[in-house]
Structure 1
Amino acid sequence: MLKEIINTADEKMQKTISVLKKDLSTMKAGRANPAILDKIEAEYYGAMTPLNQLANITVPEGRILQIQPWDKSAIKAIEKAILKSDLGLNPSNDGVIIRLIIPELTEETRKNIVKTVKKTGEDAKVAVRSIRRDCNDKLKALKKEADISEDDIKKAEEEIQKRTDNFVKEIDKILEVKEKEVMSI
């Protein structure tokens, strides 16, 4: 029972790390990255469809994203979705391919992105600590219900705390890498 609670905590904390990495990958860093388009959906035959399901997205050069729709009739809808997004990019459409030129980031923009990165990281740390709290609550409830010694409960709490600390350190490392990526020119 104790192992199960610890394993559940581990799985949930790992999912938090995965979500953090996915969220950070969608943030602009001055380089072309197809992941920045992951949250954008275009209307296609009446349904909102993610861009990566409508087109092939490639990076032909360092700061250019190339979007080649599988169905040419979707090109206007894709262009419209990009313009509506909060990315602030102007698509260039030649009738077959849409090109997005990722502008150089100004110092101020970089600092704002770093603030957003830190806030996202802080949210991930809060989620990890919340998982720890939930597991500790389950352990306390287990102590009342089951015939488990106080020492075993204490060891399980210490194990969960150790894992929490490791995940928080991992989040810090991920944030450090993203900050360097954003601040490098």
Structure 2
Amino acid sequence: MLTDVEDRMQKAVEATQRAFNTVRTGRANASLLDRVMVDYYNTPTPLKSLASISTPDASTIMIQPFDPSSLAVVEKAISTSDIGLVPNNDGKVIRLNVPPLTSERRQEFVKMASKYAEEGKVSIRNIRRDAVDDARKQEKNSDISEDESRDLQDEIQKLTDKYTEKIDKLLAAKEKDITTV
């Protein structure tokens, strides 16, 4: 039971890390485009499966579609997405210039990262609640003793603390990344 709880908590931390990757820092990062979906032949398709995405320098993201005829729909998808970058199309590739962040924008991104961290912690607490309820049910059904139930609940709390701390560390690193000019 504890390994299942730990696996689920680890997945919550990984999901939080993926959410952090979509938050912009002052540098170009291909993971900014992870959530961009392109309407490719009337099918929502992730941008990263339609194009090669690279960062030739710290302030530019370059997108080269595998199918040159899809350049216009890729450009439209980026324009309508919530990443806030304007695509420059030269007929072969799309370039996104990542401007330096203002202090207000940095604070907005720190708040966004904090929100993602809180969502991750809520997910971990929900896993804890379910596991503790399960332990109490086992005790009530006389599957385990009261002492075993208490020990199990203590272990679940230790895991919760461990994974909550991991999210706090990830948040601190992301905030440092965002606020560093």
Residue 147 of structure 1: CA displacement? 3.4
Measure, in 2, the Cα distance between the counterparts of 1:147 and 1:169. Answer: 32
Please show how residues 15-164 of structure 1 align to structure 2 within 5 Å: 15-164=11-160
> Does residue 7 of structure 1 match 2:9?
no
Question: For 1:68-110, what per-residue CA distance to the aligned partner results, in whole angstroms no more than 9, with x for missing partners?
Answer: 0111000000000000011111111110000000111000000
Residue 145 of structure 1: CA displacement? 1.3
Equivalenced residues, count: 181
Measure, in 2, the Cα distance between the counterparts of 1:30 and 1:110. Answer: 8
Measure, in 1, the Cα distance between the counterparts of 2:82 and 2:167. Answer: 26
Question: For 1:114-172, what per-residue CA distance to the aligned partner results, in whole angstroms no more than 9, with x for missing partners?
Answer: 01111111111111111111100001111111332111111111101011001111110
Measure, in 2, the Cα distance between the counterparts of 1:163 and 1:147. Answer: 22
Task: Determine the structure 2 residue equivalent to 1:173.
Answer: 169
Unaligned runs of 5+ in 2: none
User: So what's the TM-score if we normalise by structure 1?
Assistant: 0.96
Unaligned runs of 5+ in 1: none
The amino acid of 2:136's aligned partner reads K
The percentage of counterpart residues that share the same residue type is 41
Give the CA RMSD over aligned residues: 0.8
Runs of 4 or more above 2 Å deviation:
none
Larger CA deviation: 113-122 vs 175-184: 113-122
